[in-house]
Amino acid sequence: MSADGTTGKAGNIDATDSTDSAGVTDGGGAEGIDDIEVRDPVSAPDADGVPRRTTRRFPLFTRDTARPEGGGRAAPGDALAARQWPIIVVLGIVALGLLVTALDVFRIGTILIGVGLLVGAVLRWLLPGVGMLAVRSRFTDIVTYTVLGTAIVLLSLMAQPDPWLQIPFLKDTLHFTVSS
């Protein structure tokens, strides 16, 4: 097999003929074209550019990472904000919540953090491509963002002193577990 991934004889190709990576000549010797045997018409180049047969079977060992879900073809590579705006929105809300929390407005800040996660769940549900906001499958991401966002909002609403949300059975449960 030659370096360009073809098998068979290449024939007598003159030094004046140039051969590209697919083994096709662009001038002169027609005899060289007839003698080239293509190994496989359906092949993909590997890291060195040599065509290899592709298969639908999963490899035994992972050698590469999958492309992230998102608008990779919708925007050029340097347009980060155009492709990644959903996670930028979520991180902006969470950063604002952390800033408000650091400014000693604990309850509002933590509510903003939970709302940021809930916004992430809604964006993951509604948009087909969300860039780096997609971590796992769509269902798992939506459930994870919703559960964590709801838990953070509920805990911040129930935080002491002077909770904005009081759930009566929680107080009875706490007294039952501590008193016995």
pLDDT band at 110 (very low <50, low <70, confident <90, very high): very high
CB-based burial, 90-120: b 16+ in 10 Å, e otherwise: beebbebbeebbeeeeebebbbbbbbbbbbb
pLDDT band at 130 (very low <50, low <70, confident <90, very high): confident
Higher pLDDT, 4 or 105: 105
Nearest residue to 110 (alpha-carbon basis) of 96, 122, 90 = 96
pLDDT band at 96 (very low <50, low <70, confident <90, very high): very high
